[in-house]
Structure 1
Amino acid sequence: MTDLKLVGLCGSLRGASTNRLLMLEAARRFGEAEFIEGDLRLPLYDGDLEDQSGIPEAVQILADQIAAADAVIVATPEYNKGISGVLKNALDWISRTKGTPWANKPVAIMSAAAGRAGGERTQNMARLCLTPFRPLLLTGPEVMVAATSKQWDDQGRLINELNAKALDDLMQALRHHAVAHRSA
């Protein structure tokens, strides 16, 4: 199936983010699909802003991209033992949109972090934050790229064989669920 739609969310805005590298590598390993990286450069959630102006256009675009996707990749850095404010803010805003863009949507969470655990805590927190939206959260294999600055070649490809194998397996599972989701 070549017309699958895959959306990627990167919880880091930094241009040289290794979580962005991980998200892009995951999309490549997912296989043929239309890939869109969601823009998380959103205003801070503010109920007063929402009351005065409604849902910002950028938020609605992101929610619509997720709703239209067959699957979503969430690549999250670990900031101070949790998810980034950027990712949490996006989840908070999306929760305010009409409809249920996340419902039953296959979602793969992954992380790249400087520490030796590779972002285990951030993945746990991301799962907790996504659970109320009732997506189909893949439970594994877990992809946690530790010592992330040393895990990429000059073309931005993952070089650690164990991480690459886990990422391949996770993307194969995500693709399987995306096809099943589309058929449902």
Structure 2
Amino acid sequence: MKKILAFAGSNSSKSINFKLLNYVANRISGHEVKIQQFQQYELPIYSADWEIEKGIPVNVKIIHSIIKDHDAIVLAVNEHNGNVSAYFKNLLDWLSRLDRKFLDRKKILLISTSPGKRGAASALEYTKNVLHRFGGQVIESFSLPLFNDNFKDGKVQDEILALGIDDVLTTFSHELDQIEANES
């Protein structure tokens, strides 16, 4: 059984990506899943001057420790104006300053959603292309378009989209099972 950390790249208390994350994380079986909200750990906007004068904030070290304690990650990426949110980018900046390979050997499932037709696909693509720099391996990704139409009562309404989520979860879980089998 692998330990999976599930968190969203949003600091909004009403995050639709966090709602999707809960739905996806609760569909994972056979592994221990911890759903985490990191916005409780306040971080200053990254600046080299801040880092030189004050060092790495203790909250970055706490988040880093939580990530390191898990084997895999389910990450819901939100989008602001076609890019990742400033909150998420800032989190990546701080974590990579503490430990360039803070995602070393982590298997990652990326998900995203938005009210629009693209489902935060631009932020998802950016994240998919950058996480390997920090040692992470993106196994699968899934983008849910038109959140307000396709997600109601805590679940995905469209049958085809729900099957798509099941498919990426199967692949992700299979990858984790393979790692576990190789370790035995």
TM-score, reference length from structure 1? 0.87
Among residues 1, 5, 30, which one is paired with 1:7 in the alignment? 5
Task: Name stretches of at least 5 consecutive residues in structure 1 with no aligned partner.
Answer: none
Q: Which residue of 1 aligns with 2:97?
A: 96
Answering whether residue 163 of structure 2 is matched by residue 162 of structure 1, we say no
Q: Which residue of 2 aligns with 1:67?
A: 68
Is the Cα contact below 8 Å between 1:77 and 1:122 reproduced in 2? yes
Matches within 5 A, 1:122-133: 122-133=123-134
Is the Cα contact below 8 Å between 2:22 and 2:35 reproduced in 1? no
Is the Cα contact below 8 Å between 1:38 and 1:62 reproduced in 2? no
Matches within 5 A, 1:8-157: 8-31=6-29, 32-40=31-39, 41-98=42-99, 100-138=101-139, 140=140, 142-154=141-153, 156-157=154-155
User: What amino acid is the match of 2:138?
Assistant: L
Question: Deviation at 1:99?
Answer: 6.7
Output the aligned Cα RMSD.
Answer: 1.9
Task: Name stretches of at least 5 consecutive residues in structure 2 with no aligned partner.
Answer: none
The one of the two structures with greater contact order (alpha-carbon pairs below 8 A, sep at least 6) is 1
Is the Cα contact below 8 Å between 1:38 and 1:65 reproduced in 2? no
Is the Cα contact below 8 Å between 1:78 and 1:121 reproduced in 2? yes
User: What amino acid is the match of 1:33?
Assistant: E
Distance 1:14 1:38, change over 3 A: closer
- Structure 1 runs (4+) deviating above 3 angstroms are 179-184
- Give the structure with the higher percent strand: 2
Distance 1:98 1:111, change over 3 A: closer
Is the Cα contact below 8 Å between 2:74 and 2:109 reproduced in 1? yes
Measure the CA separation in 2 of the matches of 1:175 and 1:136.
14
For the residue of structure 2 that corresponds to 1:110, the secondary structure is strand
Measure the CA separation in 2 of the matches of 1:63 and 1:176.
26
Per-residue CA deviation, residues 101-147 of structure 1 (Å, 9 max, x unaligned), is 31121011111011111122111111222121121111x3x421111
Matches within 5 A, 1:171-182: 171-182=169-180
How many corresponding residue pairs?
A: 179
Is the Cα contact below 8 Å between 2:73 and 2:107 reproduced in 1? yes
For the residue of structure 1 that corresponds to 2:112, the secondary structure is strand
